[in-house]
Amino acid sequence: MAVELNGNMLVAKGLGVEIGDRAIGPFDLEVGIGEVVALVGANGSGKTTFIRLALGLDRSSFGGSWIRGFAVDPLSPPRGVGYVADRAEFWDWMNAIDNLALVAADYDDISDVLVRVGLDGVKRRTVKTFSRGMRQRLSIARALLSAPELLVMDEPTIALDEEAADQLGTIIREWRESGRSVLLASHDDEFVKTLDARIVRLINGVVA
């Protein structure tokens, strides 16, 4: 099933899930083409749940979401999306290059994104030696590899130092300027302020 984009990259309508006797949602949200949208709210407000439902990573109980006009199906992940999870997984015994080579075969592309996130100097080290912040940068690099039309990030500044957070802010602003879209969840108000993002606040599982 397809829906009209109406200038939007992502559309969620009545999206939510029931967990025991608690409902999270319904969420109604649109992310425009060339727009940065920041989900903010306290821990447990529903930011990560919304992202996972919207991308089809978790199955919804009601409502739906559409990316690039096409319905998101948990059995068929959407194309054109780069995703930074709140805790990324890698093959720890492989180095940074080889981990990224699992999702992109072009060495030049891999080299370019590692430079952008500040990992070029450690690209041949095994990931098991990486700090939490370095793993987060590698997760961002992986999401950038396919130059996705929609970049989705869940708490992307976790464990990043000031320099890495500044690099990420530059990447997000450039993404928007190129006409692509960004949806992120963050508790880092100061970082969000640098992005000129549309802020959507979640409280107790619903959009405030």
Q: What is the pTM of this model?
A: 0.92
Helix (H) or strand (E) run with residue 33 in it:
none
Q: Give the pLDDT confidence score for residue 4 in this predicted structure.
A: 59
In the sheet that 198-203 helps form, which strands lie side by side, from edge to edge? 81-84, 150-154, 181-185, 36-40, 198-203, 206-207
pLDDT digits (tens, 9 = 90+) for 116-133: 999 999 999 999 999 999
Q: Give the pLDDT confidence score for residue 1 in this predicted structure.
A: 53
Report which of 54, 4, 66, 3 is spatially closest to residue 27, judged by C-alpha positions.
54
Q: Determine contact, residues 72/54, Cβ cutoff 8 Å.
A: yes
Q: Is the peptide bond before 74 cis (omega within 30 degrees of 0)?
A: no
Give the span between the Cα atoms of 5 and 15, in whole angstroms: 17
User: 2 CB contacts (<8 Å, ≥6 apart)?
Assistant: 66, 69, 70, 71
Radius of gyration of the chain (CA): 17
